[in-house]
Amino acid sequence: MSGALLSTRGLSKRFDGLQAVTEVDFDLARGEVRALIGPNGAGKTTLVGMICGRVAPSAGTILFDGEDITGLPAHRRIRRGMAYTFQITSVFAGLSVHENVALAARRRLTGAVRVDAAVSEALARVGLSDRSEEEAGNLSYGHQRLLEIAMGLVQAPRLLILDEPTQGLSDGEIEGFKALIREVREQAAILLIEHNMHVVMELADRVTVLNFGTVLAEGTPAQIHENRAVQAAYLGTG
């Protein structure tokens, strides 16, 4: 795709004889919300791990903003504007909510005033302003997920990768999350790994379906919903 923010070509990974991902070609445009779905064991986590730099590919290339980043370590991909909620922004249970986000903010900002302002903004965006001084370990699971999102947002990424972000959220919090994604897409492309199909269908511009490590289908949410191969492999309606 011309002008894609993220592109992979022939991306593959083999673990001790197991072919986890096979020759995936993938393009993500600037400002796009792309959902990545598929059954358990389809290769989603491995694919995202290669994109983030946590898993070395066996073959293929990864381009980010036109630059070949296939051999770059994860921390250098972060500096180029990539954030991943699980592997970049782990929650430190013994630190306050504010301190967790501040640690992430310092990846790009210096000065206590600038950091504090960015932290306050990020917490407000995810609805955790009133939990700022609470220990992160005391948050509910759903609120810890929101904290991870705040830690991603405070880095002002160009690509935000969210792995199962609505897991553990209440219905009201899911509505807030959807509003947040619609706002964030104005500044960043979003890759969303999500099992909640209502969220996928409402938020995604396009959906990529993985099955047995290969791309089974790609298209708009409506096209994916009507795809018979996807229905049989994943949606359970075939």
Q: What is the pLDDT of residues 216-230, one digit of tens each?
A: 999 999 999 999 989
pTM over 0.85: yes
pLDDT score at 235: 64
Q: Has residue 22 got a pLDDT over 90?
A: yes
pLDDT band at 237 (very low <50, low <70, confident <90, very high): low
- Tell me what pLDDT residue 97 has: 97
Q: Give residue 150's pLDDT band: very low, low, confident or very high (50, 70, 90).
A: very high
What pLDDT does residue 145 have? 87
**Which domains, from first to last, does the chain contain?**
1-88+159-238 (3.40.50.300), 91-154 (no CATH)
pLDDT band at 118 (very low <50, low <70, confident <90, very high): very high
Residues ≥6 apart with Cβ < 8 Å to 90: 148
Rounded to an integer, what distance in angstroms lies between the CA atom of residue 179 and that of residue 122? 14
Mean pLDDT of 116-138: 96
Residue 88 predicted with pLDDT over 60: no
Mean pLDDT of 124-140: 95
pLDDT computed for residue 107 by the predictor = 85
Residue found under tokens 């919300």: 33
Position 223 scores a pLDDT of: 96
